[in-house]
A and B are shown apart, each in its own frame.
Chain A
Amino acid sequence: MMLVLITKAPYGSEDAYAGFRAALMTSASGMKTDVLLMDDGVFNLVEKQNPTDFPSNLREIKILRGLDVEIYCTKNDLEKRNVKPQEYVKIVDKISELVLKNEVILTF
C-alpha cells in the first residue's frame, strides 16, 4: 500500500501535479494508492480551478477517484485555509494511522 503525501498548493510549482501523476501511475499499475493532502496541499481541492497554461489538478483528482484512490486531508488544514472539500474527501483528525498502515510514502 502506498500513500502519496502532497504538501504544496497547485500551480506555481509542479510539485502537487507531479504527486498526482505519481499516484496515477502506481494505482494504474495495480498498487493500492491513496493521497493525503497536507498543509497547503489542501488548496488542490479548491473548486472551479481554471488554469490556462497548466493541466488542472482537480481533474487529476477526479481521474484518481475513478481508480479508487482515496483522497485524505486533516480537518485542521482545511479550517486554517478555509477550504471546503468535496464530499468524497475523507477527513481525518490524525494522520498517524494513515501513515502507519502504508508501506511506502512518497512526499511531494
Chain B
Amino acid sequence: MKMLIILKTCSNTAIHLAGAGLKRHSIKMFCYGDGVAVTKNGQEPMRNFVNTGKEIEGLINNGLDVVVCGSCARARGIKENELILGARIGKTGKDLPELINWADRVITVK
C-alpha cells in the first residue's frame, strides 16, 4: 500500500506510524505548517526527549520520502540547507496534490 502522512505538528506518533508502516508499505510524508519543524537539522532536545530530526533521518535511510512545504518552511525561517539529510523542500501547490493522487491512504496527523 502507498500511504501519505500529512504532518501538521511535531509528532512522535507520526514518526512511529511511518516507522511501522515502512516495514510493509511505501510511505511518504508531507510536512505542513508547524510540522516542518521536525525536519530542521541540528536539533538538541533535552535528555529523555526524542530527537525527531534524527528519527526521521533514520526513516529516510529506510525509504521514507519527506517533502517539506516551502512556504511553511520560509515562514518559519527554515532554509533548505538547514533540513535534515534527505528531506526536500517542495512546491506545495504541485507536490501536495501529486502526493495525494499517489497515495492509496492519506493520514493527517495534527
Footprint of B on A, CB under 8 Å?
2, 14-15, 18, 21-22, 25-26, 28-31, 104-108
CA distance A60 to B106 in the complex (A): 24
Does B12 sit within 8 A of A, measured CB to CB? no
Of B33, B93, B103, chain A has the most CB atoms within 10 Å of the CB of: B33
A22 partner, pick from B96, B98, B101, B103, beta carbons under 8 A: B96
Known contacts A106-B106, A106-B108, A108-B8; A26 and B33 CB within 8 A of each other:
no
A107/B93 in contact, CB under 8 A? no
Known contacts A106-B6, A108-B110; A18 and B32 CB within 8 A of each other:
yes
- Tally of B interface residues using CB under 8 Å: 17
CA distance A73 to B40 in the complex (A): 37
A29 partner, pick from B8, B33, B93, B106, beta carbons under 8 A: B93
Q: In chain B, what residue has the closest Cβ to A21?
A: B92
Q: Mark B97-108, 1 if CB is under 8 A from A, else 0.
A: 110110100101
Known contacts A18-B32, A108-B110; A28 and B93 CB within 8 A of each other:
yes
Min CB gap A35→B, angstroms: 14
The 5 closest A-B pairs by CB, nearest first: A29-B97, A25-B93, A107-B108, A104-B106, A18-B33
B8/A26 in contact, CB under 8 A? no
Chain B residues, Cβ within 8 Å of A22: 32, 96
Chain B residues, Cβ within 8 Å of A18: 8, 32-33, 72
Q: In chain A, what residue has the closest Cβ to B105?
A: A104
B33/A31 in contact, CB under 8 A? no
Known contacts A2-B100, A25-B93, A106-B6; A15 and B108 CB within 8 A of each other:
no
Min CB gap B102→A, angstroms: 11
CA distance A38 to B101 in the complex (A): 25
B110/A25 in contact, CB under 8 A? no
B97/A107 in contact, CB under 8 A? no
Chain A residues, Cβ within 8 Å of B93: 25, 28-29
Of A2, A25, A30, A31, chain B has the most CB atoms within 10 Å of the CB of: A25
